[in-house]
A and B are shown apart, each in its own frame.
Chain A
Amino acid sequence: MSNSGNDDGRPGMLTDFHPFAKVSVGQILGLVEAIDEVGGVADVATISQEVEMDVDRLGPILDAAEFLGLMTVHEGDVRMTDLSRKLLSANVRERKAILREIIDDIPDFRMITDMARKAGRPLTRKEIIEALSAHVGSHRAADLFKAMVYWGRYVELLRYDSQSEELTLRTPSK
């Protein structure tokens, strides 16, 4: 199922931010809720039927959820992890905090936050895209940048002004 994760789904082992490119927070949380509702484990076909989404659309969401360590995918069976149970019982604030820790550790994401920290000034979109292009190739850099801004905003680690196209670090509110 996943091309970037490994089977035990530990987030620390993952390097690439790319599963997030087309996935939203709501979709991942919705998926976790759906699997919880059918008892915490299900095969992909059942989930696909349950949530009325074909595997084409479900695939990236599963990838991203696995990547975050929220589920494990093994021989077509999707299983909830302790982390996702914790996430389900948490409120909006706590959910953000949990996801923040994971996102912050993703190397691609780290690369950008480190860059911003070192620069000590706002980074421009152009700079970041260039840095990302060197890493993943230019055709994916723009998508990746969009995904990073989206998730970085969600976990309150990044602030991005799309008018001046400048990215700054942000301290999460408590």
Chain B
Amino acid sequence: MRGLRRWLRLVAVVLILAGIVTAIAFPQAAWNAIQLPLFAFFSTTRMVIAYLFALVFAIAYGHTAATNKRASAALLPLLDVLQSIPILGFFPAALIFFVATFHGHPIGIEFAVVFLIFTSMAWNMAFGVYESLTTIPADLEAAAASFGLRGWLRFRYLAFPAAIPKLVYNSILSWTNGWFFLVASEIFSAGGTEFQRPGLGAFIAVAGRNGDVPSIAIGIGVLAAVVLTLDIFVWRPLGAWSERFRMETAPGREIPRVPSPYERFRWLPRLPKVRKRIIARVQPAVERYHRLSMRFERAYSRHPKALREIRRVDLALFAIVFVVVVATGLVGLVQMFLRPLPPNASVLPSAAVLSFSRLLVAYAIALVWTIPVAAMLGESEKAARYLTPALELFASLPATALLPVIVGFALLIAPSVGAAGQLAAILIALFSMQWYLLFNLIAGVRSIPDDLKEAARSFGLRGRAYWKRLLLPAIAPSLLTGSITAWGAGWNALIVSEYIQYAHQFYEVPGLGSLLNHAVYPTPDNEMLLLTILTMIVVVLAMNKLLWRPLFRRASTRFRLEV
């Protein structure tokens, strides 16, 4: 704790000094920097609003999926698909929709940005809520039922607290995701127009386009400061606090003592009135929801036959609507394909292959460095203590914000302009993917029981044999989890990485991402936009179903460490 504080102080001093030096050397940049606090405030506000929506959504969705078997049959697969599609691809459509809805008013863009961030935050949180609610110990459920906890009381004392650890953990992930999309979306082209809202992301992007190095540095510095401040003052204390809500799995197992978050939050106003008012608002809503479902349940048990009839009619109606919708969609699609395809549609397969191979290269590089580093960090307390904070700081910077730096770097070392574009695209993908791998792998290495490691050593397993027989099999499940998330992030990174404007110059490499960019700007081509997105979704879903899912199933049965 003290070490961290000292470290922070050092960082702050360095930042301030750097700020003063740049301000003297580059007055124009200094002027820009004055607007930055305001920009930071705008960006953070967008994040907070999106997060609040995501939170409410996650609790409602997760709770419904966990408590209502009938609903979960539809909700879970839907969530699965939502989680795996590259949402950035849909952003142009969403942007145009919102802008049109608000007749071109800037508020429409704000809605679109918040909506995009929301979609990057909500799914994993909803899964977290669902998982926590379905893993509540049976006895605790029974206790709640037998002591008459229903509706609001059940939510307040059982469901909500039980969901807190996973909700907090996933919120941290969601915020990291959110920053990535915030930076990408504050300045965006769609339908032949460029839309921009004042914020840190737009500031960094504009600085990058102009090749204004000091502004890039300051912008990234401020973003890092905001991310870090939130991490230290909100997420770390919340993470420690959430430990209180963990279930004790076995009686007598020691729960790690957590530092008191009260210290950290003491500076916050307590606001008991606001809290009361919020509870007063939320409580009736939950009660009403509960009463409704109770009434439904009671009616259902009273007239099972009549209800079965109604359901059958319902189902038939639903089927009709479904068929009509799908049919119109199909007809539209067929019509589209029947028309001569746009001439550049023929490049789609090769673009997909190129994009995929770029991601594959980035993934391979990420694997090569993250596995040994994770093994080292997971096994040595000392290394972990010194290196983890630095890595976490680096990881908290979204790849979209680092984009200008990465391009600058690529230009520096690449022999030609074309090579620089390729290198930049791969590096951006790498920066979006590698952290998910690293942190999942560290967790995986840490979860290997000590006696297993000792047993391995005592049988003389060393070097390659140690890796082959213990380490790699043991981290296989976390490697897969990390890989799935990493690839998800990679597909989103494609969209920003293949068509980059830096220092008044365009760097472009062929691929799905650049096709998407060309489809929206400067001349909109909705047909190509749709085709590109479809191609991307087909590739992503195919990978999920044909590669990750079967691998995951195998890994979780064969390599699970039962403790």
Interface residues, chain A, CB within 8 Å of chain B? 142, 163-165
Interface positions of B from 279 to 309, Cβ below 8 Å from A: none
Chain A residue, CB-CB nearest to B261:
A163
B260 contacts across to A, CB distance below 8 A: 163-165
Q: How far is the CA of A165 from the CA of B260 in the complex (A)?
A: 7
With both chains docked as a complex, state the minimum distance between the C-beta of B217 and any C-beta of chain A, in angstroms.
40
A-B contact pairs, 6 of them (CB 8 A): A142-B257, A163-B260, A163-B262, A164-B260, A164-B262, A165-B260
Chain B residue, CB-CB nearest to A142:
B257
Residues 417-435 of chain B, each 1 if its beta carbon lies under 8 Å from chain A, else 0: 0000000000000000000
B262 contacts across to A, CB distance below 8 A: 163-164
Chain B residue, CB-CB nearest to A164:
B262
The dominant DSSP class at the B interface is loop
A165 contacts across to B, CB distance below 8 A: 260
Residues 247-270 of chain B, each 1 if its beta carbon lies under 8 Å from chain A, else 0: 000000000010010100000000
Q: How far is the CA of A163 from the CA of B262 in the complex (A)?
A: 7
Q: How far is the CA of A95 from the CA of B332 in the complex (A)?
A: 83
Q: How far is the CA of A45 from the CA of B262 in the complex (A)?
A: 49
B257 contacts across to A, CB distance below 8 A: 142
With both chains docked as a complex, state the minimum distance between the C-beta of A147 and any C-beta of chain B, in angstroms.
14
Chain A residue, CB-CB nearest to B254:
A146
Instruction: Give the size of the chain B interface in residues (CB under 8 angstroms).
Output: 3
Q: How far is the CA of A163 from the CA of B260 in the complex (A)?
A: 7
With both chains docked as a complex, state the minimum distance between the C-beta of B2 and any C-beta of chain A, in angstroms.
12
Q: How far is the CA of A163 from the CA of B237 in the complex (A)?
A: 13
With both chains docked as a complex, state the minimum distance between the C-beta of A140 and any C-beta of chain B, in angstroms.
15
Chain B residue, CB-CB nearest to A146:
B257
With both chains docked as a complex, state the minimum distance between the C-beta of A45 and any C-beta of chain B, in angstroms.
25
Q: How far is the CA of A142 from the CA of B254 in the complex (A)?
A: 13
With both chains docked as a complex, state the minimum distance between the C-beta of A75 and any C-beta of chain B, in angstroms.
33
With both chains docked as a complex, state the minimum distance between the C-beta of A27 and any C-beta of chain B, in angstroms.
12
Chain B residue, CB-CB nearest to A163:
B262
A163 contacts across to B, CB distance below 8 A: 260, 262
With both chains docked as a complex, state the minimum distance between the C-beta of A2 and any C-beta of chain B, in angstroms.
24
Q: How far is the CA of A164 from the CA of B266 in the complex (A)?
A: 11
With both chains docked as a complex, state the minimum distance between the C-beta of B223 and any C-beta of chain A, in angstroms.
34
With both chains docked as a complex, state the minimum distance between the C-beta of B376 and any C-beta of chain A, in angstroms.
26
Q: How far is the CA of A85 from the CA of B262 in the complex (A)?
A: 46
Q: How far is the CA of A142 from the CA of B262 in the complex (A)?
A: 20
Q: How far is the CA of A165 from the CA of B264 in the complex (A)?
A: 13
Interface positions of B from 229 to 260, Cβ below 8 Å from A: 257, 260
Q: How far is the CA of A164 from the CA of B241 in the complex (A)?
A: 12
Q: How far is the CA of A164 from the CA of B263 in the complex (A)?
A: 8
Q: How far is the CA of A164 from the CA of B262 in the complex (A)?
A: 6
A164 contacts across to B, CB distance below 8 A: 260, 262
With both chains docked as a complex, state the minimum distance between the C-beta of A142 and any C-beta of chain B, in angstroms.
8
With both chains docked as a complex, state the minimum distance between the C-beta of B325 and any C-beta of chain A, in angstroms.
53
With both chains docked as a complex, state the minimum distance between the C-beta of B262 and any C-beta of chain A, in angstroms.
5
6 closest residue pairs by CB, A with B: A165-B260, A164-B262, A163-B262, A164-B260, A163-B260, A142-B257
With both chains docked as a complex, state the minimum distance between the C-beta of B182 and any C-beta of chain A, in angstroms.
34
Q: How far is the CA of A75 from the CA of B260 in the complex (A)?
A: 47
Q: How far is the CA of A163 from the CA of B257 in the complex (A)?
A: 11
Chain B residue, CB-CB nearest to A125:
B260
Q: How far is the CA of A114 from the CA of B422 in the complex (A)?
A: 71
Q: How far is the CA of A164 from the CA of B264 in the complex (A)?
A: 11
Q: How far is the CA of A59 from the CA of B483 in the complex (A)?
A: 50
With both chains docked as a complex, state the minimum distance between the C-beta of B270 and any C-beta of chain A, in angstroms.
14
With both chains docked as a complex, state the minimum distance between the C-beta of A130 and any C-beta of chain B, in angstroms.
14
Q: How far is the CA of A164 from the CA of B257 in the complex (A)?
A: 13
With both chains docked as a complex, state the minimum distance between the C-beta of A125 and any C-beta of chain B, in angstroms.
8
Q: How far is the CA of A85 from the CA of B332 in the complex (A)?
A: 91
Q: How far is the CA of A164 from the CA of B260 in the complex (A)?
A: 7
Q: How far is the CA of A142 from the CA of B260 in the complex (A)?
A: 15
A142 contacts across to B, CB distance below 8 A: 257
Q: How far is the CA of A134 from the CA of B437 in the complex (A)?
A: 44
Q: How far is the CA of A165 from the CA of B257 in the complex (A)?
A: 11
Chain A residue, CB-CB nearest to B241:
A163
Chain A residue, CB-CB nearest to B266:
A164
With both chains docked as a complex, state the minimum distance between the C-beta of B56 and any C-beta of chain A, in angstroms.
27
With both chains docked as a complex, state the minimum distance between the C-beta of B1 and any C-beta of chain A, in angstroms.
11
Q: How far is the CA of A142 from the CA of B257 in the complex (A)?
A: 10
With both chains docked as a complex, state the minimum distance between the C-beta of A127 and any C-beta of chain B, in angstroms.
14
Q: How far is the CA of A144 from the CA of B144 in the complex (A)?
A: 35
With both chains docked as a complex, state the minimum distance between the C-beta of A61 and any C-beta of chain B, in angstroms.
15
Q: How far is the CA of A165 from the CA of B258 in the complex (A)?
A: 11
Chain A residue, CB-CB nearest to B262:
A164
Interface positions of B from 341 to 390, Cβ below 8 Å from A: none
Q: How far is the CA of A71 from the CA of B550 in the complex (A)?
A: 63
Q: How far is the CA of A164 from the CA of B261 in the complex (A)?
A: 9
Q: How far is the CA of A163 from the CA of B244 in the complex (A)?
A: 10
Q: How far is the CA of A165 from the CA of B263 in the complex (A)?
A: 10
Q: How far is the CA of A69 from the CA of B257 in the complex (A)?
A: 33
Q: How far is the CA of A48 from the CA of B99 in the complex (A)?
A: 79
With both chains docked as a complex, state the minimum distance between the C-beta of A24 and any C-beta of chain B, in angstroms.
11
With both chains docked as a complex, state the minimum distance between the C-beta of B123 and any C-beta of chain A, in angstroms.
33
With both chains docked as a complex, state the minimum distance between the C-beta of A17 and any C-beta of chain B, in angstroms.
19
With both chains docked as a complex, state the minimum distance between the C-beta of A164 and any C-beta of chain B, in angstroms.
5
With both chains docked as a complex, state the minimum distance between the C-beta of B32 and any C-beta of chain A, in angstroms.
44
With both chains docked as a complex, state the minimum distance between the C-beta of B248 and any C-beta of chain A, in angstroms.
15
With both chains docked as a complex, state the minimum distance between the C-beta of B285 and any C-beta of chain A, in angstroms.
28
Chain A residue, CB-CB nearest to B259:
A165
Q: How far is the CA of A142 from the CA of B256 in the complex (A)?
A: 12
Chain A residue, CB-CB nearest to B260:
A165
With both chains docked as a complex, state the minimum distance between the C-beta of A76 and any C-beta of chain B, in angstroms.
29
Q: How far is the CA of A163 from the CA of B261 in the complex (A)?
A: 8
With both chains docked as a complex, state the minimum distance between the C-beta of A168 and any C-beta of chain B, in angstroms.
16
With both chains docked as a complex, state the minimum distance between the C-beta of B258 and any C-beta of chain A, in angstroms.
10
Chain B residue, CB-CB nearest to A126:
B260
With both chains docked as a complex, state the minimum distance between the C-beta of B516 and any C-beta of chain A, in angstroms.
51
